[in-house]
Amino acid sequence: MRYAIISDIHSNLEALRAVLDDAHGRADAVVCLGDVVGYGAEPAACIELVAERCQAVVGGNHEHAVAGLLALDWFNPYARAAAEWTRDRLDDDHRAWLAVLPLVRELEDATLVHASPAQPDEWEYLMSAEDGYAAFPAFATRLCFVGHSHVPGVWMQGSWGRAHEPGVGEITIDPGTRYIVNVGSVGQPRDRDPRAAWALWDTEARRVSVRRVAYDVHAARAKIVAAGLPRFLADRLAQGR
């Protein structure tokens, strides 16, 4: 089985479409690690496309904020403005869909979670080597796929020791090693590469690769500006930060 694992779409329909096009023919199924909404201009269309195309979806902090399950004062001013704007543009069906997403799911030999598998509703970021190493006891599967930081990377732990590789492109799954893989962000990359990121997990080839896809950043930016969302949210897309 070949899974496309996508995360942090953030209402960026151009990026989502480009990733689904890239995944078409490469992956047999698509799963989503949350933050479908927030920041971008097309929350409803992104929810509908994810609901239609994804076999499994877990919720992120932006879903919880828009569904009223997380206080907005948790967010910085840009995220808060976007969450309020998003809330007003969704109907009851969209909000109901967001509100019932589980925070953790298992898929074959992998755990799917938006933030840290340790206390997923605390929304902790896995950034440093130590952050990732500390999360291994919190899941039972061989692999754990995460998003949230918008920066691709992998943490590995085995009898040989442990390692952290930020910005990883491809890993071959070794039977004696466990992995946490951050798949990066579809709609708002923050690793100075503005291209959309997603991960292809091939269970038979025992390989995970993070792919990058160019998309129409100009169109996504223009929609954010036209919507009256904070201009910073448009400009950061071009810089991948």
Per the CB < 8 A criterion, the answer to whether 19 and 49 are in contact is no
Taking residues 9 to 48 in sequence order and writing x for each that binds Zn ion by CB under 5 A, - otherwise, the string is --------------------------x-------------
- The neighbouring-strand residues paired with 143 are 110, 179
Of 112 and 156, the one with the shorter C-beta distance to Zn ion is 112
Closer CB to Zn ion, residue 173 or residue 237? 237
Asked if 34 contacts 66 with a C-beta cutoff of 8 angstroms, the reply is: no
Q: Work out how close the CB of 96 gets to Zn ion at its nearest, in angstroms, rounded to a whole number.
A: 21
Cβ closest to Zn ion, residue 149 vs residue 177: 149
Integer-rounded Cα radius of gyration of the chain: 17
Does position 191 bind Zn ion by CB under 5 A? no
CA distances from 194 to 31, 52, 216 (A): 22, 26, 10
Residue 162, sorted as left (phi over 0), alpha (psi -120 to 50) or beta, turns out to be: beta
Among 3, 4, 8, 103, binds Zn ion (CB under 5 A): 8
Q: Compute how many residues bind Zn ion; rule: CB under 5 A.
A: 2
CB of 25 to Zn ion, least distance (A): 27
Residue 150 beta carbon to Zn ion: minimum distance, rounded to whole angstroms:
6
Intra-chain end-to-end CA distance of the chain, in Å: 33
Residues that bind Zn ion (CB under 5 A): 8, 35
